A and B are shown apart, each in its own frame.
Chain A
C-alpha cells in the first residue's frame, strides 16, 4: 500500500513541477499577502521610533509575523481547488476506480503539495534569516522541539479544512467562495493578520471556539515562548479539531459520492 501511495505522490509531484507558472502564482497569492502585515509593522515601528507597541516589542512582533509567514506558506494546501475540479470535470471517477481509498488519494495530493511547498518554504525561511538576522535570536532548543510537535497537527488541520471545503463541490458550483469565506474568517481569528491579544476582548473570545487558533497563533506562541506556553492544551485542541474535521470530511464524502454522477457535478 505504501508503494502505491509513494508512486501516486511521485506522479502528483511531477505533474505539479511541470507547471512553472505555479511559482509566480504562489508568490502572488500567498507570499505577498503574508509579507504585507509584517512589512507594515516593521515600518510602523520605524516610523514611531519606539521599541514597543501594544505591549509587543519590535523583535517579538517580527518573530511572530515571520513564523505566521512560514506556517502560511506550508499550509497553502489548496486541495479544495483540485477536488472541486475533479468533481465538476468528472475526473473524480478516474480516482474512484484506482487501487486507493479516497483518503489515500487525498493524502497523496496533500503530501505532494507539502513537499512542493518545501522549496518556497525553506527559501523563505533563509530569506527571513537574511533580512531579519536578529528575529530568531531568542529561539532555543525547546522552541525547536515544540515546533516539531505542533507543526504536523497544524498542517493536518489546514489539510482537513481544505478537504472539507472541496467536498462542498458535490453541492455548489464554485468552492472558491466558500474557501475564501472560511479561510478569511478562520485565519483572521487564528491570528494571521494580527496577534490575537491586539484584538478587542470580545473578538479574542470568539477565537477560542474556532480551529485555526490552534494552527497559527498558539503554535507560534509555543515556539516563541516555550517556557511559558503550555503545550498540553494546544496539542489537545489540535487533536480534537482534527478528529472533528476528519469526521466531517468522512460524512461529506459519503453523502457527496452518492450524489456524484461521474459526468460532472
Chain B
C-alpha cells in the first residue's frame, strides 16, 4: 500500500510541475470551470423559480444540497480519472500503451497516474464542500460526504467504461464529449422526475440524484455502494477483455 501511495504522490507532484509550466491554459480552464459552475447554478435557480416550486417534489434546500454533493462527487471523480480520459487514446495511438503494459502492475494505477486532475477540478471540490457545509446540518455532514464519495466512485467507473474502449479502438477519444455531457447533465436532480426518457438521457449522472436520496433517508447508502461495486466490476471486466484483445497495432 505504501508503494501505491508513493506512486500516487509522485503522480501528484509531476502533475503540478507539468501544469505549472502552462499557466495560461490552466488559468483559462479555471475561468471556464468557475463560469460553468455559475451557469449551472443559474440554470438550476431559474428552472426552480419558473416551475413555481413544482420541481419534481424537491424543496429548494434539497436542490441546493444536490448541487453541492454533485459538484463534490464530480470533482473527486474527475481529479482521479481525468488522466485516463485525456491520455489513453493518445497512448494507444502513439504506441506508448505497449510500454505501459510492460511496467509493473497494476495497470489501473498506471492509467490513473498518467495525469491527475487536481489543477482542473479543485473548484468543484471547494464549492461542493462549501455548499454541503452551508445547506446541511452538522449531523448530516459525514453522510453527505460519504454519499458523495461513493457517487464519485460510480462516476469514475463510468468514465473508465467510456474511455477504455480506446485500448481496442485508438480513434475512440471521448475526452471533450464526455466532459461536456457530464457537466451539462449534472445540473438538475432527476431521480423523482418519473420520466424514463430523462433518466435514460441522464444515465451518467443518475448517481447524484441517488446520493441526494441517501441524505433525505429514502435510500440506504449500501444500495449506492452496491451500484458502485457493480459498475466497477463491469469496468474491470471490460479492461481485462480489452487488454487480452490488445495488439500493439490495434489502433
Q: What is the total number of residues of chain B having a CB less than 8 Å from a CB of chain A?
A: 46
A47's partner among B25, B32, B181, B193 (CB-CB below 8 A) is B193
B54's partner among A40, A47, A81, A172 (CB-CB below 8 A) is A47
- Dominant SS at the B interface? helix
**B-side contacts of A35, CB under 8 Å:** 201
B56's partner among A29, A36, A44 (CB-CB below 8 A) is A44
Q: How far is the CB of B73 from chain A (nearest CB, A)?
A: 18
A173 touches B56 (CB 8 A): no
Q: How far is the CB of B38 from chain A (nearest CB, A)?
A: 9
- Chain A interfacial positions (CB closer than 8 Å to B): 19, 21, 24-26, 28-30, 32-33, 35-37, 39-44, 46-48, 50, 53-54, 81, 172-174, 176-178, 180-181, 184-185, 188, 193-194, 198-200, 203
**Is B245 an interface residue, CB under 8 A from the partner?**
no
A25 touches B28 (CB 8 A): no
Nearest to B50 among chain A residues (CB) is A54
Give CA–CA (A185, B36) in the complex, Å: 8
Sample of 19 further A-B pairs with CB below 8 A, known A25-B177, A42-B198, A172-B28: A29-B181, A30-B177, A30-B180, A32-B184, A33-B180, A37-B43, A42-B197, A43-B195, A48-B52, A50-B54, A53-B52, A174-B22, A176-B176, A177-B29, A180-B29, A181-B29, A184-B39, A193-B43, A200-B46
- Chain B interfacial positions (CB closer than 8 Å to A): 22, 24-25, 28-29, 31-32, 35-36, 39, 42-43, 46-47, 49-52, 54-57, 162, 169, 171-174, 176-181, 184-185, 187-188, 190, 193-195, 197-198, 201-202
**What is the total of A-B residue contacts with beta carbons within 8 Å?**
125
**B-side contacts of A180, CB under 8 Å:** 29, 32, 36, 176, 179-180
Instruction: Given A25-B177, A32-B181, A48-B52, answer yes or no on A177-B190 (Cβ-Cβ < 8 Å).
Output: no
Give CA–CA (A41, B50) in the complex, Å: 10
**B-side contacts of A47, CB under 8 Å:** 51, 54-57, 193-194
B28 touches A28 (CB 8 A): no
Q: How far is the CB of A62 from chain B (nearest CB, A)?
A: 13
Q: How far is the CB of A205 from chain B (nearest CB, A)?
A: 15
A25 touches B185 (CB 8 A): no
A173 touches B22 (CB 8 A): yes
Counting from the closest, the 10 A-B pairs by CB-CB distance are A29-B177, A33-B184, A48-B54, A54-B50, A43-B195, A181-B32, A177-B29, A28-B177, A39-B198, A43-B193
**B-side contacts of A46, CB under 8 Å:** 194-195
A181's partner among B31, B187, B190 (CB-CB below 8 A) is B31
B171 touches A19 (CB 8 A): yes
B25's partner among A39, A40, A173, A184 (CB-CB below 8 A) is A173
A29's partner among B54, B180, B202 (CB-CB below 8 A) is B180
Nearest to B193 among chain A residues (CB) is A43
Instruction: Given A184-B32, A198-B50, A199-B46, answer yes or no on A33-B198 (Cβ-Cβ < 8 Å).
Output: no
Interface CB pairs A-B, < 8 A, 5: A28-B178, A39-B198, A42-B198, A43-B195, A180-B36
